[in-house]
Structures are given as C-alpha cells and as structure tokens.
Amino acid sequence: MSERADAPDVEARTRADHAAYEALLAADEPPKAWLRRLNRHAARQDPPLVVVGDGTTALLAAWARRYRDKHREVVLFTHYVGCTGESRLTDRLVERLLLRLRDVAALPDPLPADPEARRELLPNWLARAAARTRLMLVLADVDRLTDGDAEQALDWLPAHLPPGVRIVLGVALNAPAVTQMRQRGWQTEVLSEAVAGRQELPDGVTPETLRLLWACRRGLTADELQAAGYQAPASGAAIYRAEERLQLAGVDVRDAVRKSLLADGADRQAAHEAVAGLVAAHLAPERRLDELPWQLAAARDWERLAHVLADPAFLQALLRQRDRLDLWHYWRAWGADAELVAWYAECLRPWRQELDAETLADLVCGLCAAFREAGLDGDLSPFMNALHELTSSLPPALHARVLATRGAWLAEQGEAAAALEPLQQALALRREALGEDHPETRTSRHQLATWYEEQGDLDAAVELYRAGLTARETTLGERAPGLIPYLHNLGAVLKARNDFAAARPCFRRALEIAERHYGNAHPTTAACLDNLAGTVYAEHDFDQAETLYQRALGIAEAVFGAMHAATAAAAHNLGAVMDAREDFRTAEMLFQRALDVREELFGAEHVDTASSLHNLAGVKDAMGRYDDAEPLYRRAVANWEAVVGKEHTATATSVNNLADLLRETGQFGEAEQLYRRNLATWRALVGEDHPHTLMTLCELAGLHAEQGRLDEAEPMLRDAVERTARVLGRDNMDHINAVTRLAGLLRETGRKDEARKLLKQTITAAEGTLGMISPKLQKLRRHLEALDVDPDRLH
C-alpha cells in the first residue's frame, strides 16, 4: 500500500497555474486603444466580444490583470487554453467555470459526475451567480481546445447570457469557431491580420526535458527533474513557473514540442509513461496522487492504473476530494460501467486482509456513494454484504453511515420493507451522536422522509420534514435562504396529500425569503413562484396562479432566454392556467411556444414534448378545431408510447382525449377501440374502482348509447352509478355525470318515472353536502326539469 496522501485541491492548483501564466504574459504593455475597447465592453450589456488574431492571449492577460486590480467588485474568471496540458480539455474548462460560479453563488450543490449534466447545469449556475454580482469571463485561445468539433467549439457556452455577464474571447485569425460566434450575433474585432509564424522549440532545454514537461499534468519542479537525472531549465518566455513547478508556456509552445518531438502517438504515450515512472519514483505522496493516475490514464496503461485505483490509500484520498473530480476523470477514461463495479468487488478480499474494520467500512461506503453519483448500474450486493459483516464493531457515526448506505441501496432495489429499519437506525444514531442539524443527520432524515413518501405514508413524511425545518431554523434563523429547500419539501408533501391550505404558507414563506435574499431576477425566486402558483392553481385560484406564473416566466426569459427548458416549462404552466380560465387562444399560444422549444431541445420523443402536444391538442379541441387537434393527440399518444410505454397513466390520458374527440366527430369505431383499450389499461394500473377506470367506463357506455346500443350501455351505466357512489361519493361530479347519462337513457327508452326517481334520490343525497346553488345540484335539477321537455336540453 502507498503512503497516505491528502486529496489535492484541484481547482486551487489550477488557479495558481493560470495566475502564473497570466503574470508572464501581462508583463508587456498592450496597446492603450485596445485596453479602452475592452473596458468599454466590460461596462456595457453587449453580446460577447471576440478578439481575433495573433497576440490576443497576451492582450487579454494584460487587460485582465489591470481590470481585476481596478474592479474588485467584479468576479473575473480567466481560462488560458494551453497554460497546462489539461487546460485544453473542454470538460475541464466547464468544470472550472462551474466551480467558480458555485463559489460566487454560495451554492451547496455537488458538481455532477456526468459532463453532459454539467453543461446542462451551466445556464442555471451562471444565472444564480450573476444575480449576486457582475461576472466577467475571459477565455483565451478557446479555438485551440483539443477535444470536440473545432467548428462547434463553444456549443457548451449558453447562447443567451443573463444580465450582468460579460464575455471576452480570444481566437486565431482563421479559426473555424469564428463562424459559429458570428452566427450567434457576437461581436468580432481583429487585433492583427498577421498570421503567426512557426513557433520554435525553447533554446537551452534538452528534448528529454521538453517531452516530460509536455506530458505533465501540471509541470515538475527543478528538484523533481534533477532527482530523476534531467536538466532543470530556467523559466522565461517559453517556460513559466507556478508554485515552483516548471511548465510549458502556452499552446504554441506545446504544439511546437508535440510536432517536433512527439509527432507519433506512440511517442506521446511513451512520454506519459516516462512521467509516470518519474512520478512514482521521485515525487512526494501528494504530488504522486495528483500526477500518477493522470499519466497512467493518458498513457492508456490500464493495468497500472487499476493497481493505483485499487490502492486503498490512493482511493480513499480520491474519494475524499470534494466532488471527486479526479476520480470521475480516471473512471471515464478507464470505462465507467458495470464491469468497473464488478472489478472493485474483487478487491474486497485483499482489502479485508489489509484494512481494519473502520477503514474498510469508510472505504466501501465512500465507494458505493461514488458509484451512485456516477450513475453506475453494477451489482452492489458484495459491498453491502461486506458492510453488513462490519456493523457490530464500528463507532456510532460510522455505524450510522453503514446503515444509511445499506438502507438507501435496499430502497433502490425495491426492498422497501427491508430498507426501513436501517434507515431508521441510521437517523437515530446520527441524531444522538451528531445532533439534530448535522449534515449527516439531515441526509438521514431526508432519506427516511423520502421512503415514507414513496410508501404513501405522507403523515410520517410530513413529521420528518417538519423536524428538518425546525432544526434548520434553530441553526440559521427563520429568514435564512437555507430554509427554502426545507420549506419546499414540506410544502410538496402537504400538497401531495391535498392539504393545500397547509402547503400554501410553506411555499409563500419560501417565496418571501427568496425575494428578500435573491431579488426578483433569480432562478430560486422563479422556482418559488412556480411552487406557490401550482398550489393556488390546485385550489382553483386562477387569478393568483396567473400572476405568479407570469412572474416566473418573466424571470426565466430574462436569465435563460427564450430557447431554454425553464422558459418552456414556465410558458407551459402559464398555458395550463389560461386553459383552466377558458382563455383558449392565449393558452394555445403558450402551449405552442413551449412545444416549439421542447421539440428543438429534446426532440419528439420526450416526456415534456409529449405533455405540450397533449395540452396544445386539448385547447384546439376545446375551441372546436378538431381537424387541428386530432393529429396532435395522435402524436402525443405515439410519443408517450415511445417514452413511457403503452401501459402508463400519461399514455392513457392522451388516448382518452383522442377517443373523446373521435366520438365527437362521429368516428365511433376507433373511439370504441380506444375506450376499451383504456378501460383495460386503467384496470391494470389502478384497479376496477379508481376514478379513471370509472370515468372510462362511463365514456364507453355513453358511446354505446349514442350509437343506439342501449342494451350494452344500460348495464355499464348502472354499474358506473353504483360504483361511483360507493367509491367517490354521491356529491362527486363523476357520479353525477354517470347518473345524468343513465337518466337520459331511461328517458329515451320511455322510463321517465325511473329516471325521475333516480335524479331525485341523487339530489336528496347530494344536498346534504353541497350548497343549494352548487353547479352540480343545478345540473341534476336541469335534467329533472327537462324530463318532460325537448330531449336536446339534456346535457
């Protein structure tokens, strides 16, 4: 086993590298006219400025250094592509930017392991940081990133920037990415028309040393080079020093070394292997942890990388690193899949022999958490068995961690009953050992509350969420922004149990805190508006819901732009309110807007696209535009079937609406097929007596009645009347609809007295719970009065 090493602070070292490189470049005096131009750009809300030509990196470095000194109130983020080997990777650039934004916005969230998830997160974190302070992003040589399509080098950068964000980029004169930038409407200005000449190799440095420095992740010190028998070069224009580490100065120098000394892939692989050997033999433990696995991954030496990543000391250090940035990189390079999980399971036997119980438990818990965060689907049962064997000999805090890990895994495996006890024990141990508001106690409380929610025990979930909120209030006070997620969790479960009166104050308080702390142009404020709007919408307070959703849409448009998923969701939600208010034209416009964005972002086969198709079809249907609505319903059904399957509630809902439309337009044959399909679906999903099943039964019976198939319709309607009364109550609208349909059938077949008796009985039963002017009672009375009048009045 290797010596213990502390997890390196990756971003702190990277910042030091960029700062040292910037200092080297900023030594020369830049043109004053360009300094003024860059200052003007920083002061305005203009599109990003792209400076094109040779010398842009030195200009941006000199300007950034001066601007930072004069404008301490502005957060300045700089990235110089080529100042280190890893600085040329797009994922590392995005990672660095997200880490900086998280610090600025004071976000507690971890960085996702998946690179695509990080890119999706960037607009949100950019908006959150910009809501707190002005941001200036300086990105030099972004056309020289080595991964991805050169013509789409900036696909990761949001096309829309929130207020308060300025960007300056430097690119080469003939960079393919310039076309992409101009298509976005960004400003491009040429610094120099001259084409850079060929970069020569640095004088006075041996080829062996240049190869090593090219391959290094973040350089080598003079002592490290000399200890390995290599010449230590002096720093200068081609080699700079960062924290005593010598590095090649920039992308041109790096490319010159690669083209002259490492033109072949085998040569580059050999250079990485040479650095790995030097690191293993001569560097201190912390430096080995920073460089060795990086070099082995770059050299594609999977056997040695496996040995390093199975070393408990190395692995523990990588697991302790915040966000596990390096571990994700090595796992992705190696192949993060179920086979990786199985390979680590094979390491359990030597670990059991080598490690004491506490170290092994800590290692396995951390590894299982990393597997879940990385989204790996392998079999974790060997790890859980190992943890189960260790629980009796552990101190309380670690024992609780083991229990929480096992409980979460059992819940994920669908073994809910088995998960409950370890989750409960973990919470009890953490409350006693760590206190009510320790982060681990909060995690256990949330895990257990989620378990109760999933099992339908909403009262128990409410109790736990209330306890979590109280503990946070004790620590933070009653007006802290840290309370917002706890208020949202409590409000959501109260809303789920239809206790809207109790949910509303939670969401309103969260909104008040967000407005006070973040203002009216922040994504958190928009989320709070959305939650409160959803609750008052459920209470049929459409005036207030409309106002809240309009505000949420305004924030989304300002901070994310028109073509963003959050903007589409806000438009969709506002459309639902306008639909409920029967302002169908406005609803149509909003649903169409949401659909256009979602199809552009997600494609046709996506749940959000299907939802917008369904709602857009619904408002066209309500306006009697059946020819427009029918193809939309059909597309919605097809999309739902593709993304969630035929036997799903969302699919069944769209199928039901399509059947209603076909019935309305006289396409009885297909309508009947769809109703029968849905009846079977609802019975399978929710049972015979669920409102959806009963509603579909009524619709099918009504279809039979309209076709004159009264012998088939009558028993189905009688069944629906009896079951809706028993299951839903005699004052329920579905029951009343079933009664009026049966009464209409009885009248049509000459049994007015029986129809009259049925309606009177229903009115008498409903009067005890409904007001005299209730729309439901009025509908029943209209049908009673119409028994001896024109049957067309029955509705």
Please give the pLDDT value at position 8. Answer: 66
Topology of domain 10-190, per CATH?
A: Rossmann fold (3.40.50)
pLDDT digits (tens, 9 = 90+) for 261-291: 999 999 999 999 999 999 999 989 989 999 9
CA distance 333 to 517: 42
For 535-557, the three-class secondary structure string (H helix, E strand, C coil) is: HHHHCCCHHHHHHHHHHHHHHHH
Question: Could you tell me which residues are beta bridge partners of residue 76?
Answer: 136
Please give the pLDDT value at position 795. Answer: 42
Please give the pLDDT value at position 791. Answer: 47
List the one residue out of 187, 208, 201 whose CA is nearest residue 236.
Answer: 201
Exposure b/e, 219-246, CB count within 10 A at least 16 = b: bbbbebbeebebebbebeebbbbbeebb
* Parallel, antiparallel or unpaired: strands 187-190 and 49-52: parallel
pLDDT digits (tens, 9 = 90+) for 148-203: 655 566 888 998 999 999 999 999 888 888 888 888 899 999 987 665 556 678 88
CA distance 496 to 4: 49
Using only C-alpha atoms, the chain has a radius of gyration, in whole angstroms, of 33
Please give the pLDDT value at position 98. Answer: 97
Task: Tell me the residue length of the chain.
Answer: 795
Domain extent listing, the chain: 10-190, 207-300
DSSP class per residue in 684-697: HHH-TTSHHHHHHH
Listed in sequence order, the residues at least 6 apart from 178 whose beta carbon sits closer than 8 Å to its beta carbon are: 50, 52, 143, 171, 188
Please give the pLDDT value at position 1. Answer: 42
Give yes or no for a contact between 232 and 219, defined as CB atoms under 8 angstroms apart.
no
Please give the pLDDT value at position 755. Answer: 84
CA distances, 791 to each of 700, 748, 755, 758, 784 (Å): 21, 8, 13, 17, 11
Spans in the chain with pLDDT lower than 50: 1, 771, 791-795
Give yes or no for a contact between 651 and 637, defined as CB atoms under 8 angstroms apart.
yes
Please give the pLDDT value at position 148. Answer: 60
The whole model's pTM is what? 0.87
